[in-house]
Structure 1
Amino acid sequence: MNTSLVPVILAGGKGERFWPLSRRSRPKQFLCLDGSGRSLLQATADRLLDLAGGWENLWVITSAPIAEGAREQLPELPESNLLIEPEGRDTAPAVAWATLEVAKRHGEEAVVGFFPADPWIGDVAGFCKTLTAAAELAAKESAIVTLGISPAYPSTGYGYIEQGEAKGDFGGLAAYSVNRFTEKPDEATARQFIDTGRYSWNSGIFVFRASTVLSELAVHAPGILEPLQAKGKEAYSQLEKKSIDYALMEKTQLACVIPADFGWDDLGDWNALERLQGDVKNVELARHVGLETQGCIIHSSDDNEIVATIGLEDVVVVRDRNVTLVVPKNRTQDIKLLLKLLQDDPQLKELL
């Protein structure tokens, strides 16, 4: 792979739906959730290193409160390759600022890839093959390429990408222009999308030449790009909080998608652990004694503790330090609402 591919890991997220294991000082990307012994951030860096050609070409962008944690997680990463946002403004400012910084060092014709820090990838070889194809498409066609994940079920929690005109074969994989992006449809609409065979889940992975995205941001998001060009990260306080999907991908005519299937899961909440474990009676990441308990996810951070359950079904039980969470599996999305209650209570904010 040409080392002009410069991977940038987006590592500023909070991972709120994995609370209480994921907290402000130890967000989801710092956790090991698959039993590998490597955190999600470390695993993401591991599979990108060969594509980058070494640590000197791998970048990470994170937020100020967890920057020291990122350093501890990735001690091999050069300090100059760690970009620290003074405040979180969603992914559009992060992509714009990181692209400007990468272009300064590697040139505007460098192919840049942006990667969430915390997905699970089952087939690393397939993942790398797809990225090679995406980099080729981005370089040859001045395209902004996203990787589309073959949908396994009608999820209402993911964005969907509709493929349009065929763009040809790149690295043995078919590529298409993007007709439209749809954010988190209802189940009936998601089922209709899947039935057409033209839709993929949005992986949040983007590959492009730096010059291509900077030109498109100048047209579609000048309020984000121009302050960053003028003042760098000192401009953050005046930037609009907006995702790269809304700021650019839904507006540009250069978006392309490569449908892929490399065992991806975004690990969005506790239910993801059940998908990784497969067909088991309970997901047990604790010393668990259960009577008439099934379909449950049990987690404890203390190996000396025993979690005992009776008569539970389809429930998540998480014990971490000074917090125990008990929630039905179909209500895990509401963890974020619970955290708002904690945020508003001065005596409970320390639990975040």
Structure 2
Amino acid sequence: MLCALIMAGGKGTRFWPLSTEEKPKQFLNLIGEETMIQMTINRIKPIIPIDRIFVCTGQMYVDLVKEQLPELPERNIIIEPEGRNTAPCIALSAFIIKKYYSGATMIVLPSDHLINDEEEFRKIVLDGNEFIKNNDNAIITLGIKPSRPEVGYGYIKYGSEKSNLNSHSVIKVEAFVEKPNREKAEEYLLDGSYLWNGGMFIWSANNILEKIKKYSPDTYEALHEIEEIDERWIKYLVKAQYKETEAISIDYAVLEKSEAIYVVPSDFGWDDVGSWEALDRYREKDKNGNIYVGMTKAVDGRNNLLISSTHKVVVEGLSDIYVIENDGKILVGHKSNVANVKELKNIV
């Protein structure tokens, strides 16, 4: 039984001031008409029904989840009392998913990534699920074929142990590699055996919980009673016990210590949309290269990034600038410096 876990508790600070702690980027329509979390859910729905899709988020975002995903069953909203990185989030969610769907396989996805070739993505998910059915102790990660020497992502180094499943390869992972400097990233690109770590995983709920029990026992001990108690008491147990979990990523807690880790090299137009520059890559532009989000317009200007959430913005006779407006805060600068916007947070 294939289930999906969408992790949606991030604060999205890199997209300030458009993304705020009250409404982070997963709840914004940065790329198209749908918000990022709506895109994520709709991309997986053709192969996983909504009753088997779960969203893990913080208490302050529950109303946003309900508003943007009205079809999602309320029981499928998993609430973290506080953010403690991905290992506790995944452990909590695995216990709850297992309670509803014994023997479930999980596809774990971030809520705020872009995937252009959704059909290819779904084929890879189904092939990965098939592999897990036949290799219950295995963990699958989706590794993104790099298109540039990116220094903002971690990498996956794969080896020669390989099997084929339909049209895709499943290859044994040699190592997870930290974000490199530019020189190393260029080496990885030329080497050809390194993939970007997109933070997408497939595993059986039983297997990941066994791994967490072995490698992050504090987290397992804090939450394992979820299996035994009545559903109505889960939120009280989690509220009382979640602070006892180990605040650590699943990569450090489990993946780097496990043996049966495999990667599926994936080429489906992925981007984590982690920077303002990503909008320049994917957002539709007018004939003069201007990008508009909200009530914005450029007159006699080229190559501008204009974003507004509440006010009308018109720019005349200017080129290569950004204007970002949100809730009355207006930031203007040279477009080449848009990556530094969040550094202005303490000034505005």
Instruction: Give your verdict on TM over 0.5.
Output: yes
Q: Is the 8 A contact 2:216 2:246 kept in 1?
A: no
Shift in alpha-carbon separation, 1:114–1:328, aligned structure 2, 3 A:
farther
Partner of 2:202: 207
Alignment check: 8 A CA contact 2:306 2:324 kept: yes
Gaps (5+ residues) in structure 2?
A: 226-236
Equivalent in 199, 222, 225 of residue 227 of structure 1: 222
SS at 1:298's partner residue? strand
* Cα offsets for 1:212-233 (capped at 9, x unmatched): 1111111111122211114445
Q: Once the two structures are superposed, what CA deviation does each residue of 1:164-197 show, in whole Å capped at 9, x if it has no partner?
A: 1333012320011111111211111011011111
In 2 relative to 1, CA 288–99 (structure 1 residues): closer, same or farther, beyond 3 Å? same
The aligned residue for residue 233 of structure 2 is: none
AA partner of residue 240 (structure 1): E
1:321-332 to 2 correspondences below 5 Å = 321-327=327-333, 331-332=337-338
User: Could you say which residue in structure 2 is the equivalent of 1:58?
Assistant: 53
Measured in 2, the distance between the counterparts of 1:13 and 1:212 equals 25
Question: What's the offset of the Cα at 1:239?
Answer: 2.3
Distance (whole Å) between structure 1 residues aligned to residue 16 and residue 50 of structure 2: 31
The CA RMSD measured in Å over matched residues stands at: 2.1
2:94 counterpart residue number: 99
Distance 1:68 1:22 in 2: 17
Counterpart amino acid of residue 316 in structure 1:
Y
Match of 2:38 in 1: 42
SS at match of 1:50: coil
Alignment of 1:1-352 (within 5 A): 4-35=1-32, 37-52=33-48, 54-107=49-102, 109-141=103-135, 142-230=137-225, 231-277=237-283, 281-285=289-293, 287-289=296-298, 293-294=302-303, 296-302=304-310, 304-308=312-316, 310=318, 312-313=319-320, 315-327=321-333, 331-339=337-345, 341=346
The question of whether the paired residues in 1 share the 8 Å contact of 2:17 and 2:342 is answered with no
Q: How many residues are matched?
A: 333
For 1:92 and 1:328, the matched residues in 2 are separated by: 39
Percent of residue pairs identical: 35
The amino acid of 1:44's aligned partner reads T
The residue that corresponds to 2:231 in the other structure is none
| AA aligned opposite 1:169 | N
Q: SS where residue 213 of structure 1 aligns?
A: helix
TM-score by length of 2: 0.89
How far off its partner does 1:242 sit? 1.4
Q: Which amino acid aligns with 2:292?
A: E
Give 4+ residue runs of structure 1 displaced > 6 Å after superposition: none
Shift of 1:307: 3.3
**Displacement of 1:270:** 1.1
Q: Contact 1:64/1:86 (CA < 8 Å) preserved in 2?
A: yes
For residues 40 and 202 of structure 1, the distance between their equivalents in structure 2, rounded to whole angstroms, comes to 19
Return the alpha-carbon distance in structure 2 between the equivalents of residues 137 and 331 of structure 1. Answer: 45
Distance 2:259 2:23 in 1: 39
TM-score by length of 1: 0.88
* SS of 2:20 mapped into structure 1: coil
Equivalent residues of 2:8, 2:26 under 8 A apart: yes
CA contact (8 A) 1:17 1:332 kept: no
Aligned partners of 1:309, 1:321: CA distance in 2, in Å?
25
* Aligned residues of 1:93 and 1:224 also touching (Cα < 8 A): yes
Structure 2 distance, partners of 1:316, 1:140, is 51
What is the CA-CA distance between 1:288 and the residue it aligns to? 2.9
User: Could you tell me whether the CA contact under 8 Å between 1:129 and 1:171 is conserved in 2?
Assistant: no
The CA distance in 1 between the partners of 2:163 and 2:97, in whole Å, is: 29
Change (3 A) 1:188 1:135: same
Distance 2:205 2:45 in 1: 20
Unpaired stretches in structure 1, ≥5 consecutive residues: 343-347
CA distance in 1, matches of 2:260, 2:343: 37
Aligned mates of 2:70, 2:93 — CA distance in 1: 20
- What is the SS of the residue equivalent to 1:250? helix
- Deviations along 1:44-72, whole A, 9 cap, x unmatched? 111111221x2211111100111111111
Distance in 2, matches of 1:103 and 1:78, equals 16
> Structure 1's 253 and 337: CA in aligned 2 closer, same or farther, altered over 3 A?
farther
